Amino acid sequence: MGKLRFWMGLLLAGGVALAHAQGNPAAGKEKAMVCAGCHGEDGNSSAPIFPKIAGQHAAYIAKQLHDFKSQKRGDPTMGALAEPLTGQDIDDLAAYYSQQKITIEKTEANALGETIYRTGNLKTGVPACTGCHGFGGNGNPGAVFPQLNGQYAAYVEKTLRDFKAGERGNDMNGMMRALAARMNEAEIKAVADYISSLQ
């Protein structure tokens, strides 16, 4: 009986902690004003080099902001903006952006990109992107794998090149670095084009 109470107490405490960790979208909207210059008022950036964060999983947004804050993910601009954020600020921003609707441009699907995204490249050991990001590019919020569908091709290209060069290293167990290192430039561009076409 004592052990049961102990575990019940832990579960209840965990539930309280999770409830406290949830962000406030209304507060996040106010705090997002400084983000609008690059990411747009609703998280749909107008410049293809800046990622769309509208509709992105809250857990993923929060992880990236924490990584920028701790400099685990290096970027001078984002590091400076994230440094003063509190945990609650991060949760609020993540909650706000996750509730926005991503704007997806209509583009032609890239055949090579679709093949690599769906089945990978057995010859070079590149796994299918669907394993983590899903067939529709919806990601996996539980595993903190991001939603990709409708993301700008230019941003996806830059991200894959950064992983390939080891300039970005906040991926789980180095998975993205290992994957991108096996991709050539044509494959990177093709996959990025295909991802941008996913609805």
Which pair of tokens denotes residue 28? 């996040």
The reply, when asked if residue 8 is annotated as ligand binding, is no
On whether 78 is known to bind a ligand per the annotation, the reply is yes
Q: Is 172 annotated as a binding residue?
A: no
Does 132 appear as a known binding residue? yes
The answer to whether 133 is annotated as binding is: yes
Residue 66 annotated as part of some ligand binding site: no
How many C-beta neighbours within 10 Å does residue 7 have? 9
Please indicate if the annotation marks 129 as binding a ligand. yes
| Residue 35 in marked binding region | yes
Question: Which of 117, 137, 140 is CA-nearest to residue 127?
Answer: 117
Q: Which residues are annotated as a binding site?
A: 35, 38-39, 78, 129, 132-133, 176
Tell me the binding residues for heme c: 35, 38-39, 78, 129, 132-133, 176
